[in-house]
Structures are given as C-alpha cells and as structure tokens.
Chains A and B, each alone.
Chain A
C-alpha cells in the first residue's frame, strides 16, 4: 500500500460492485483495445458478452470479431497486433487448448497481446468449473502469466498488463488469469478510476513493437532456420527474464497513481515464520485466515501468494522463504506424473534448492474452506506430512 504523502496525487476512484468477469471487461474497455476477437466459453463468457455490448452501444470503438473458434480468436489478435492494433482476447480450459498452436507464435513474433483467462480445469470428464489446469499448461511458452486474487486485482492487472506488454523492453504477450467462478462469478466491491481516460494516460498505446506497415514493408513470422531460430527465440527468453523489473516498475507506478499495487508475490507474516503456505488465486483469503488461527495457537505460520509465475519470481521466493523451515505449496492443478504432483510445488522446491511440502486442492473446483487449509498446514508443521510427497485436500480416499 502507498504512503500517505503520495495519496493526495492519486487519481480519484469510485466504488462499484462487479463480478470478476465484468471487472475485467471494464478494465479492457478503459484500456481501449482496437481489435477484440474472442469465442465464448464458460466461465469466461460474461467478459465476451460485456465487451460485445460495449462495442455495440458505442462505448468502445473497437473492431469486435465474433470468431468461430478460439484458434481463430488467437489468429485474429495475432494478425491485428502484427498490424499495430492494441488487442484483447479471453478464454478458458479447452478453449485455451484449442488456441495452443498459436500461443507460442505470439511470443516469437513479440506481439503485446493481452489475454484474460477465467481459469477452468481441462476435460474429461467435462467439468466447467475452476482450477488452474489450463493456466499451468501455458508455463513453457514464453507468455507473461499473472494470477489475480480478486475482481479488484483482475481489473488493476489488466491495465498493468497493457503497459507491460507494450513496453519496448518487453514486447511479449501477457495473460491475466483469475479463478473461474470463485472470482469470475463472485460479485465484489472494487474501486475504479472516476475518469476512465486516466487508464489510457497510464497505459497509452505505444505502437512501438515490430509490426506490418505498408510504408515500410516488412515480413513477420518468416522461417527461422537452425542457424537463426535459437538466437531470435533467445531474445524472447531474455525479454521475459528481464520483464520482472518492468512488471514491478509498472506495479509501483500504478500504485502511486491508482493507490493499489501487489508485487510479484504477496507476503503475509513471513518474517519469523516456521511454516509457510504458498498458494495462488482466490483462496489466499482463506489461507490468511488459517494462518491467523495457527498464530493464535502459538504456531509461527505465514503465507505467500504467487501473483506472477512467468517470469518466475526466483529472487523473491529465496528472500522470503529461505529461512522458513517448512514450506507447503497448495497447488490447484495436477502436474501429472511429475516429481511432485503440484506444478508450483516443483518450481518452488527447485528455487529453494530443497524438497518441500506439496498438497493438491480445489481440483475441478472441489470445495475448500479455511479449516481444511489449517489442517494441512498443521500436519506439515507437526511432521505428519513428509516433504517430497504429494498430499490431497478434499479428494475422497486421498492422501491426507
């Protein structure tokens, strides 16, 4: 949170009530994309519907392309972005899977596309509900990946995403993910700028990325032979690595102007912690509640929320978690067949250079409450759960 001395310069905000989906649609509208191509899929549908309304009623002057599939949605925004337009698309689950072929192309061509994902698990069996299976399958492609906790943060992060993506030091596509249903369909209070022009002032369209221009003819997406591919791709690798600095810079400046900033990770009572719970998405409020209960019982618990998972916040995790004896990562997606079955647990463990604790929860949107998280942290603390193994929270007949 910002210091009081800076507060008077902040942009005036108004309090409204929206679901996560509608908060994202509003942020997108305020960022004035010029081309939107999207295909509706649960739980993201209200975003697409609301954006179509904005375009239809004249509130947003954008080209809205009602494509016939997600593959076309990503193709259309790649084409539009390559032509120099600010773009937006959004999807979930199998819809993301359907655009998969085009996702690394946006990276290789260095296009600043912004995409929302209302996180939903993958079929089969058909399950329209939320977990992070879809988002986790994007980790190796070169996209910047944010995971928001609330409707407010989703709103703020979309605005930040445009600024980061179009920064000349970055020029990479960005995905802003948030819980399907538990954020996308939950109505919450949020503050938005009273004057929406402030958003465009904060994130003006830079149009400084490589793009097609009839006056200066170029070709984008050409062949990269074995002699060239690696070097061209390596620029994207370095850009993603260095984007952490830009993400933090933009976040701090956003905080100064709009009064809210979040960091790459969010910390809670970690300074003297002996056991820490690492999580992501909407359940972090429950995690904090569990931490409070453990503290009340004399256990020095803490928590950390992963907000940006690409680029990976290596330095932050080492700084904030190295001293913590037991680290439990609650993963909301299955890393099938992995060394530990939680994708983030594997990465956090590698970052800390030691074997940590891992539990899976909310898979297919299995219900969870703070008591269940409390129990998991307590079992970790007491040594009933072993580091390196994978435990489950809520699976019938699971490993608890």
Chain B
C-alpha cells in the first residue's frame, strides 16, 4: 500500500481532529501505522482548522507537514474557496471528499478539477438523522473508508469506542450510511506523472486578517495590540443554515432582534409597492449574513413562524 497522506480541512467545532484520531486509530487496529498530527491554531469555534493524517504499512517517524496529499477531506463546501490551495495540491488521481447538500455535479463544478475522484455526501443530513448533531466527521470517515478501502468499518466502530466512549452506535450508523451512499465521481483523465497545481506551504495557512505578515523588525514592540474591530472577521461563513423571513407573516415585534446573540438581525428600510402602485418605504426585519452564525434562535422565538432556517451547505 505504501504511504497515504491526507489533509482534513474544516472549522473548529466540526470534529476535524477527532475524525483524524478515529481514522488513525482504526487504521492502527487494522495493523497499519498511522499518525494524526493536527495543526493547532486558536481552537475557536468556527475558525478554519487543518489536520494531517498519514497511514502507512511501515513505521512513520517523521511528522512531516503534508504538501501534496493523496486525499483532501473538506468538512464544509463553503470552505472550498478559502481552502483552494489544499484542493489544488491533491495529487492527480487522488481524492477530494466533500460534505455538501448540493447536487454532486454542482459540487464538481465548484471544485473544478477533472483529474481527481470527487466524493460528495450530505454528511450534515446523515449526522442529524443518526447523531442529532451537526458533526459531519462520522459520515466523512465512512466515505473515506469507502473510497480508500481502509480502515475496516468494524475498526472504525472500535475507534469510536476508544476515542469517544459514548454515542458509539449512533456515530457508527452515520459512518455506515455514508459508506453505502456517498457519490463518487471518477476523474475524466489522469496523468499519473503530472504534478498538482500547487503545494501546501509549511507556514500556517490561517494567517487571515486585515494585516500584513511583517518581519520581526516591524512587529509591534512588546506585542502591543491597538484598538481594533471584529468587523473584519465575517463569522457568517460558519453557517450550516441561514434564516429567511417571510415579511407577510412578520408583525415587527422585534423579538428576533432582541434575542440575536450576534446583532445580526437588523431593521432595514424596505421599498414596497402599495395596491395602487404607489411606492413607499417601510421598516422590515433583515439579516446581516456576514455575521449571522445560523444559530436559529430567531426562528425559535418568532411568534408567527415568519422565520425559516434554510440549508446553505
């Protein structure tokens, strides 16, 4: 088998690290050597996370950051653009496994590569039905096992036992369903001698912000930080679902505005047309999708059912 190098990308809270631990543990149960070496960042919910997992039939002594993976696993289709450098680095003939509720052909278009296997599954839907949580890691483990031929499903169950110690059967049911139902789009052409478009650089990929990466002579003395703003950190990217309002049902009670933990419910002026064609402006509830995290509190508290949550990934 040689050595399989994989990169897992997702957001804090999606269980990326746990997923690599589970696959590595299961591969070790199967008799392989494996090492799960996540990149540890700020460990903040929603922050981009990248984890490495290497499986080999020989002992692995080097914890080399992976530059050209055989497999990339993407926990959230909204990360595709942000993580384009990972998808571009997958070796021709390799695999890109993506959690998405979109039709597989549409996902293929977004990925825009035709020299790799693209594996699509709605891991959120599967996880919700079996685990009752938005954690796509169990289903993604199942899809991994399906296309890579390892680790064995039974070993994944044992790894759930070791790594989670709870909800083993629920997680395993999700893994199994993904194993059976994930859609695999084979590559149109594979030139095994070709190199991928890019490599993943060793420097942390998550230096993302409105700042310049400067040399030591130019950083602030003492690491002093000046007053700033969180406006640059568009937390809306974390959403699985977004709130959508039916203005006809809204009674402008503003309960959603009161309860929104992120100040993402806004009162906006909306131009409407009256019955006799007269245009006038009226206040209406809207959402600031740059910062709405999709927690669905607004939909919960809405007394008229005007707010519905709609799947985004």
Contacts and interface: CB of A to CB of B under 8 A. Distances in A.
B120 interface: no
A17 B63 contact: no
Nearest to A288: B61
A185 B21 CA distance: 10
B214 A396 contact: yes
A371 B62 CA distance: 12
Report the contact-size class of chain A (Cβ under 8 Å from the partner). Answer: 20 to 34
A257 to B, nearest CB: 21
A395 interface: yes
Contacts of B218: 397
B202 A188 contact: no
A15 interface: yes
Interface stretch (B34-42, B88-96, B168-176): B34-42
Given A17-B162, A368-B202, A396-B213, A187 B25 contact: yes
Most-contacted residue by chain A among B34, B63, B217 (CB, 10 A): B63
A282 interface: yes
Nearest to A19: B21
B63 A396 contact: no
A286 B64 contact: yes
A288 B62 contact: yes
Contacts, number: 81
Majority secondary structure of chain B interface residues (helix, strand, loop or mixed): mixed
B64 A289 contact: yes
Contacts of A181: 40
B215 interface: yes
A155 to B, nearest CB: 15
B63 A285 contact: yes
Interface string B27-58: 01100011111111000000000000000000
**Taking chain A's interface residues, is the majority helix, strand, or loop, or is none over half, making it mixed?**
mixed
B29 to A, nearest CB: 8
Q: Max chain A CB contacts within 10 Å: which of B33, B40, B61, B159?
A: B40
A398 interface: yes
A15 B28 contact: yes
Nearest to A181: B40
A187 B24 contact: yes
Interface in A146-183: 150, 181-182
Interface in A1-54: 15-17, 19
A279 to B, nearest CB: 12
A129 interface: yes
Contacts of B20: 187
B71 to A, nearest CB: 17
B216 to A, nearest CB: 5
Contacts of A284: 61
Q: Which of A282, A284, A367 has the most CB of B within 10 A?
A: A367
Contacts of B28: 15-17, 189
Contacts of B10: none
A189 B61 contact: no
A369 B216 contact: no
A125 B219 CA distance: 12
Contact of A189 (B33, B64, B162): B33
Contact of B202 (A129, A365, A372): A372
Contacts of B228: none
Given A187-B20, A286-B62, A367-B65, A182 B37 contact: yes
24 contacts: A17-B24, A17-B28, A150-B61, A185-B38, A185-B40, A186-B35, A187-B24, A187-B36, A188-B34, A188-B35, A189-B34, A284-B61, A285-B60, A285-B61, A286-B62, A286-B64, A365-B40, A367-B39, A372-B202, A395-B216, A396-B214, A396-B216, A397-B217, A398-B216
Given A186-B63, A396-B215, 18 more contacts: A17-B24, A17-B28, A182-B63, A185-B38, A186-B37, A187-B34, A188-B36, A285-B61, A285-B63, A286-B64, A288-B61, A289-B64, A368-B202, A370-B62, A371-B202, A395-B216, A396-B213, A397-B217
Closest 8 CB pairs of A and B: A397-B215, A285-B62, A285-B61, A125-B223, A187-B36, A17-B25, A17-B28, A396-B215
Interface of A: 15-17, 19, 124-125, 129, 150, 181-182, 185-189, 282-286, 288-289, 365, 367-372, 395-398
